């Protein structure tokens, strides 16, 4: 079966757009459409978005609208992704990715530096889709005064070459799927992390749920890096140290997607971690590494000092014994 055709949306697609949105909303209890009272723009959606300097696309199969997406500029380089719907019988076919590719590419060409969107808290399938595309929860829940009593999550991601941000508890939870993918890829590449291959997604997700819990309780800082809009790396700063060491914090799990290495992502994460430590009032950072791995020369290049070595103290993912190293850095 050939893929649906993705083309610019038109005002005369109105009937198809209305039917698609209504069908998608009706999958969720209590989610109802008040066309003229709440979404009258659906009657002339192309005009609506062009009037806001935005754009609209439709996916069509055999004369039927089976997908749609819009985008429009906000402020300060941000663009909003809007009206993302795919017919039930087209889900899982990569149509959603094709539509989002079109909207993101358009926003980039127009100079977007950040993408944002709102999605109903009931649309859990959509949340998984956006999280797979490196969007994370950002900011509070929005309450709409509509017939559906809608509550909406806000998602966002930066588009710069390398951007590092600190995630709160909600953001950390929404990043778990993508971070699990990165962890699995790093283990598969033979990185010395505290997991042995094969690492299944359930176990990787469970690990990141624990990290999210640490962020929520305030003992863990989670930093993540995007490279050209793809969440590609992370590091943690553990500030839950003994009472007699209030000046110290520990760096954990510096991970960079193997497919996106040698672009400065690790260096950017380390710089952000040092800044976060200073902000938290910590003056000394510690970091564990394995001798002979890439982490060792990387730390030395960043002026970390070796403070201890245990011969044969760790076993890497290939089962090879390596020296356990401890590095220190004053910040």
Residue 190 confidence (pLDDT): 78
Is residue 236 a contact partner of residue 250, using CB atoms and an 8 Å limit? Answer: no
- What tens digit of pLDDT does each residue of 73-107 get? 999 999 999 999 999 999 989 999 999 999 999 99
Q: Does 293 have pLDDT greater than 90?
A: no
d(CA 31, CA 144): 12
Sign of the C-alpha dihedral computed for residues 294, 297, 303 and 309 taken in this order? positive
Residue 86 confidence (pLDDT): 98
CA distance readout (Å), 260 to 94, 99, 169, 182, 256: 23, 24, 26, 11, 7
Q: Are both 191 and 324 inside the same structural domain? A: yes
- What tens digit of pLDDT does each residue of 37-55 get? 999 999 999 999 999 999 9
Kindly state the tokens that stand for 74.
Answer: 């906000």
- Provide the strand spans (E) within 21-162: 55-61, 64-73, 78-86, 114-120, 136-137, 142-143, 151-158
Q: Are both 197 and 263 inside the same structural domain? A: yes
Domain encompassing residue 90: 5-158
Residue 17 confidence (pLDDT): 98
Q: Which residue has the higher pLDDT, 291 or 147?
A: 147
Among 158, 184, 215, the domain-final residue is 158
Q: Are both 110 and 234 inside the same structural domain? A: no
Q: Does 194 have pLDDT greater than 80?
A: no
Among 142, 158, 174, the domain-final residue is 158
Neighbours of 242 (CB within 10 A): 7
Q: Are both 10 and 145 inside the same structural domain? A: yes
Q: Which residues contact 116 (CB under 8 A, 6 or more apart)?
A: 74, 78, 79, 80, 81, 138, 154, 155, 156
- The bridge status of strand 284-290 relative to strand 248-256 is parallel
Mean pLDDT computed over every residue of the chain: 94
Is residue 208 a contact partner of residue 227, using CB atoms and an 8 Å limit? Answer: no
- Quick one: what percent of the chain has pLDDT higher than 70? 98
Residue 314 confidence (pLDDT): 76
d(CA 200, CA 182): 12
Residue 227 confidence (pLDDT): 98
d(CA 23, CA 110): 32
Calculate mean pLDDT across residues 97-118: 98
Q: Does 318 have pLDDT greater than 80?
A: no
Half-sphere exposure of 235 (CA within 13 A, CB side): 26
Q: Are both 71 and 204 inside the same structural domain? A: no
Residue 316 confidence (pLDDT): 67
Q: Are both 187 and 303 inside the same structural domain? A: yes
Q: Which residue has the higher pLDDT, 199 or 31?
A: 31
Residue 317 confidence (pLDDT): 63
Among 97, 123, 158, the domain-final residue is 158
Tell me, rounded to whole angstroms, the distance of Cα 24 from its chain centroid.
24
Q: Does 208 have pLDDT greater than 80?
A: yes
Q: Are both 42 and 60 inside the same structural domain? A: yes
Taking alpha carbons only, the member of 104, 312, 316 closest to residue 228 is 104
CATH number at residue 45: 3.40.630.30
Residue 322 confidence (pLDDT): 81
- Provide the strand spans (E) within the chain: 5-8, 55-61, 64-73, 78-86, 114-120, 136-137, 142-143, 151-158, 163-167, 220-227, 230-238, 248-256, 284-290, 305-315, 321-330
Structural domain count, the chain = 2
Q: Are both 197 and 79 inside the same structural domain? A: no
- The bridge status of strand 151-158 relative to strand 136-137 is antiparallel
d(CA 173, CA 177): 9
Q: Which residue has the higher pLDDT, 88 or 194?
A: 88
| Residue that has been written with the tokens 């797979």 in this structure | 132
- What tens digit of pLDDT does each residue of 238-284 get? 988 887 888 999 999 999 999 999 999 999 999 999 999 999 999 99
Q: Are both 234 and 106 inside the same structural domain? A: no
Residue 106 confidence (pLDDT): 98
Q: Are both 125 and 194 inside the same structural domain? A: no
Q: Are both 101 and 197 inside the same structural domain? A: no
Q: Dmax over Cα atoms in the chain, in whole Å? A: 72
Q: Are both 141 and 239 inside the same structural domain? A: no
């Amino acid at each position: 079966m050939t893929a649906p055709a993705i083309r610019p949306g038109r005002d005369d697609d109105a009937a198809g757009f209305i039917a698609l949105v209504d069908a998608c909303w009706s999958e969720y209890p209590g989610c109802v459409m008040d066309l003229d009272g709440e979404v009258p723009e659906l009657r002339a959606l192309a005009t609506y978005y062009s009037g806001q300097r935005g754009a609209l696309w439709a996916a069509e199969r055999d004369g039927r609208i089976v997908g749609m997406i819009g985008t429009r500029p906000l402020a300060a380089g941000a663009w909003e992704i809007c009206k993302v719907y795919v017919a039930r019988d087209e889900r899982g076919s990569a149509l959603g990715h094709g539509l989002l590719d079109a909207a993101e590419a358009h926003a980039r060409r127009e100079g977007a530096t950040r993408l944002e969107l709102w999605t109903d808290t009931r649309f859990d399938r959509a949340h998984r889709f956006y999280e797979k595309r490196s969007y994370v929860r950002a900011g509070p829940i929005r309450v709409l005064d509509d017939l559906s009593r809608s509550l909406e999550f806000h998602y966002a991601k930066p588009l710069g070459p390398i951007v590092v941000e600190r995630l709160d508890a909600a953001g950390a939870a929404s990043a778990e799927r993508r971070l699990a993918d990165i962890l699995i890829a790093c283990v598969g590449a033979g990185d010395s992390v505290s997991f042995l291959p094969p690492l299944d997604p359930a176990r990787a997700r469970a690990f990141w749920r624990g990290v999210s819990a640490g962020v929520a309780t305030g003992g863990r800082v989670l930093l993540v890096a995007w490279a050209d809009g793809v969440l590609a790396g992370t590091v943690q700063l553990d500030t839950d140290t003994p009472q007699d060491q209030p000046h110290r914090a520990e760096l954990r799990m510096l991970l960079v997607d193997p497919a996106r290495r040698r672009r400065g992502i690790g260096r950017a994460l380390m710089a952000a971690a040092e800044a976060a430590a200073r902000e938290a009032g910590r003056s000394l950072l510690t970091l564990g590494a394995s001798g002979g791995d890439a982490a060792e020369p990387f730390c030395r290049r960043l002026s970390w000092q070796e403070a201890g070595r245990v011969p044969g103290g760790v076993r890497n993912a290939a089962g090879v014994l390596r020296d356990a190293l401890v590095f220190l850095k004053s910040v």
